[in-house]
Structure 1
Amino acid sequence: MSLPTILVADDDRSIRTVLSQALGRAGYQVRATAHAATLWQWVEEGEGDLVITDVVMPDINGLDLIPRIRRVRPDLRVVVMSAQSTLTTAVQATQRGAFEYLPKPFDLKEVLAVVARALATPATVVPAPAVAQPEEQMPLIGRSVVMQDIYRIIARLTTSDLTVMISGESGTGKELVARALHEYGRRRAGPFVAINMAAVPRDMIESELFGHERGAFAGATSRVAGRFEQAAGGTLFLDEIGDMPPEAQTRLLRVLQDGEFTTVGGVQPVQANVRIIAATHRDLRQAIRAGTFREDLYYRLNVVPMRLPPLRERVEDIPLLARHFLNACQEDGTPAKMLDDAAIAPLQAYRWPGNVRELENLMRRLNALYPQETLGADLIEHELAEAQAMSTPAAEGVPRDNETLSDAVGRHIRHFLETGQDGMPLHDIYDKVIAEVERPLITMTLSATRGNQIKAAAMLGLNRNTLRKKIRDLDIPVVRGGG
């Protein structure tokens, strides 16, 4: 039995050499070329069991080659590589029929895993036709590994109406991802309708979602369509789903189960022709344990989970984001400004408790307040020092002088009671505060013991089984091999 042959096309000689050597050591035969035309000739002649191609080639764009390959060799898998690591590239590669998209620089172990999976997967799926791409203005910016994973998920969902649950801290861009899922999806011709559950009075949420009939309640002088009707044919984005009251959760569950709803005060069912995308910054599993969120609704919504990383987990994306936000300031009529190279270091060293939203606000503030065309490290450090002085010690991990743990926790709770979280009123704060304290306490103790649960339990004064249950209930990552 002959060994599988991998056809590699990349105009970078070092890439061709590295891939040829790695694939050869893995037991494959390899033919490599710097030209897409040569690759096409090999494909037409019936050579190769798998194609790995770059996007930017000197003669033909690798993405344009995919549909041609699929027409003449529908059984031939194509893996796309690209240094243009954007959402658009990932989506285009998927929609034109690529088996997988690999951003450069790539990990050789991942390449070999993709090759093995591609050769073992039956080629029975007909690729979706290429569609017009929206301008990348939304935008999802970043070339970090975690953002590439987000791009891949969005690309794979372009032909699906599966329900998506987006989780992440405030300011990480959950609505941007929801809009991307809509704009690149098959419902892009329909409306995108968003509703923030935390911003709607609890007694009005059902009316906002499902609409109401005339006379349904005091002040209802006419029939009003709810968000489900407004989003018909498109996408309904349910932001901060964890703040939905129990009675509205029950009605939403029925809609997801039956595909129809009735307006408040109505009797005739209305078809729910929408795709649902939900988002939250809360731990919904903790809310389920606290009895504030329905477990059956959670599993209906959490069909495809997406976690957005905080900015501190993708610091390599900060220069791209910062420069993008500065360029965007020109739309306000202000002159273009630049970041000095030395200004990047303090930006990447900061913790960013407000995530991408805080970075955007900083760039807009710098653009508005300072006349310099080039913004240096001194200005950045000054602004970040001001922000750090205003933030709570919990965000920085450093207590104030002579401040006890009780003082710090009390100040946090006082702030929450006065302002709410994200400006919204809180409820069930006992369970939330306990969870907020328990999770970092256990996480940091496990880190201090290098994952040794026996030592961690002893330090915490807990029974080991109790610790294990808390680790499971709080969904705390476990370092394997620590006992």
Structure 2
Amino acid sequence: MAEAAPRTILIADDDRAIRTVLSQALGRSGYNVRATSSAGTLWRWVEDGEGDLVITDVVMPDENGLDLVPRIRRVRPDLRVVVMSAQSTFLTAVKAAQRGAFEYLPKPFDLKELLAVVERALAAPAAPAAAEAPAEAEDAAGQRLPLIGRSPAMQEIYRTVARLTTTDLTVMITGESGTGKELVARALHEHGRRRGGPFVAINMAAIPRELIESELFGHERGAFTGALTRGVGRFEQAAGGTLFLDEIGDMPPEAQTRLLRVLQEGEFTTVGGRAPIKANVRIVAATHRDLRQLIRQGLFREDLFYRLNVVPIRLPPLRERREDIPLLARHFLERARAAGLPAKQLDAEAVERLKRHSWPGNARELENLMRRLAALYPQEVIGAEVVASELEEAEAGAAAAAQGGGGAGGPASGGPTTLEQAVERHLAAFVAAHRDGMPIRDLYDRVLAEVERPLLRLALAATRGNQIKAAAMLGLNRNTLRKKLRDLDLPVVRGSGVGGAPP
């Protein structure tokens, strides 16, 4: 019996070195290879019926490789296309998936990975042509919801999210606080098939246990004391769109049972209601907790876990992708400028100092630091000394809290022993830095915001995210607390307590 003829791979890339490397690697693996620097030549080969697989770059002199993908899929649905690009952004991965690419590979890539992708593509069954997503909608959403980073860990997240935008599969996002779980959930929605519907988020840790079922499923008039009118729950609000269940590990057992039933049967009833309502939502859940550990402790239903964990996405902490810190820092400084704060830059030594920090608060901590640098320092270019001073205060505070000291400094460190002394030292340094620069303005409001943020975070951590208890602890009305959290853009996260009492 005659051996099958070698398969032919068509390569399009304007970089001669990449064409040479790919041609040699694929040739050694037994494939025939035709390579070109022109999208037009590639298209002619495809129209002539040549090739069993296409590997194309995005940026080429005569045409964008992404624009070729849907055309190839229309005329030859059985011809798989692998897109490679040095523009290794989230939006590139999404466009590649939505336009029908079999796979997206960010440059530089490992040749073994490329060969594995080629084998999978050639073995995959034929698929119908994919519809092209509107580029305008993608670009607008990409501007609103940037996922930043070129690290291998982030590239894998881009590829995973890009694949999921063409499905309605349930997704479980895990990661430490501040890693961007809601950003990923919003990206899944804004770039997915349900982007025309609402995106509704609910934080399980921020709602009293007795109100969670009503918040999720709604209630009928008279269902409980105080239910004077019918209440619409988040499932109804999110109809046709995405429901983001943040901190799902904090959901009480009775609500877990009702949620499981919704996922199994595709419908729910309101609290006090009898008529079933169709659940027309995509579920994306997130948690910073170890759900498998909660299952072992009997605090989370195993069957619900498997219903939610259809596609898991783990977001790495910032310390595991330090190469992304310069990109993130520049992005956050630009966001601060767009919000009305002075334009700032970091010098090279300042960036290196950022990369050495452990970032327990992850990207959220980095963003807060960039906003603080933009607001409080007069110089246009921020140096390593300023960054080091800010980070050393944060590190000292974290160490003291971990030891039960309750704050930065303390008698053991020879630093300030009271909050008043710490604030006075910080303000003195700030005023001294501005002495020969631009005039200081709005200092009162700035100081209040700097003190208010950690105070609210501490109260919420001490009460494990219970806003009623936190409001009582602070001596505030609950509505006032909620407004402050909203105004300061503070997320409500469940904490494990604090090391010391507030002063």
Superposition TM-score tier, normalisation by shorter sequence: 0.7 to 0.9
Query: CA offset at residue 152 of structure 1?
Result: 1.0
SS at structure 2 position matched to 1:80: strand
For 2:281 and 2:17, the matched residues in 1 are separated by 48
Query: CA offset at residue 417 of structure 1?
Result: 11
SS at structure 2 position matched to 1:52: strand
SS at structure 1 position matched to 2:83: strand
For 1:44-443, what aligned pairs fall within 5 Å after superposition?
44-131=47-134, 132-133=137-138, 134-392=141-399, 420=461, 424=465
For 2:230 and 2:310, the matched residues in 1 are separated by 33
Deviates more, 1:145-154 or 1:236-245: 145-154
CA contact (8 A) 2:200 2:242 kept: yes
2:22 equivalent to 1:19: yes
SS at structure 1 position matched to 2:273: coil
CA contact (8 A) 2:248 2:286 kept: yes
Summarize deviations over 1:53-93 as a string: whole Å, max 9, x none: 00000001100111121222221111000111111111111
2:422 maps to which residue? none
Equivalent AA in structure 2 for residue 245 of structure 1: P
For 2:264 and 2:55, the matched residues in 1 are separated by 42
For 1:135 and 1:176, the matched residues in 2 are separated by 11
Structure 2 portions without partners, runs of 5+ = 404-408, 413-456, 468-494, 497-503
Equivalent AA in structure 2 for residue 232 of structure 1: A
Query: CA offset at residue 233 of structure 1?
Result: 0.7
TM-score (norm 2): 0.79
SS at structure 2 position matched to 1:257: helix
For 1:195 and 1:173, the matched residues in 2 are separated by 15
Query: CA offset at residue 394 of structure 1?
Result: 9.6
Summarize deviations over 1:419-438 as a string: whole Å, max 9, x none: 63795269xxxxx99xxxxx
For 2:357 and 2:175, the matched residues in 1 are separated by 19
For 1:423 and 1:246, the matched residues in 2 are separated by 17
Equivalent AA in structure 2 for residue 35 of structure 1: S
TM-score (norm 1): 0.82
Equivalent AA in structure 1 for residue 321 of structure 2: R
For 2:52 and 2:301, the matched residues in 1 are separated by 48
For 1:341 and 1:26, the matched residues in 2 are separated by 44
1:457 maps to which residue? none
For 2:316 and 2:463, the matched residues in 1 are separated by 18
Summarize deviations over 1:229-279 as a string: whole Å, max 9, x none: 111111110000000000111111111111111111111111111111100
SS at structure 1 position matched to 2:166: coil
CA contact (8 A) 2:70 2:129 kept: no
For 2:109 and 2:347, the matched residues in 1 are separated by 29
Q: Tell me how large the CA RMSD over aligned residues is.
A: 2.3
- How many equivalent pairs are there? 413
Deviates more, 1:214-223 or 1:121-130: 121-130
Deviates more, 1:208-217 or 1:121-130: 121-130
CA 1:169 to 1:394, structure 2 compared with 1: closer, same or farther past 3 Å?
Answer: farther
Equivalent AA in structure 2 for residue 27 of structure 1: G
SS at structure 1 position matched to 2:307: helix
Equivalent AA in structure 2 for residue 171 of structure 1: G
SS at structure 2 position matched to 1:420: helix
2:10 equivalent to 1:7: yes
> Which consecutive aligned stretches of 4+ in structure 1 deviate over 4 angstroms post-superposition?
393-396, 416-419
For 2:170 and 2:83, the matched residues in 1 are separated by 27
CA contact (8 A) 2:70 2:131 kept: no
Structure 1 portions without partners, runs of 5+ = 404-415, 427-431, 434-483
For 2:184 and 2:125, the matched residues in 1 are separated by 31
Query: CA offset at residue 418 of structure 1?
Result: 7.9
Identity %: 73
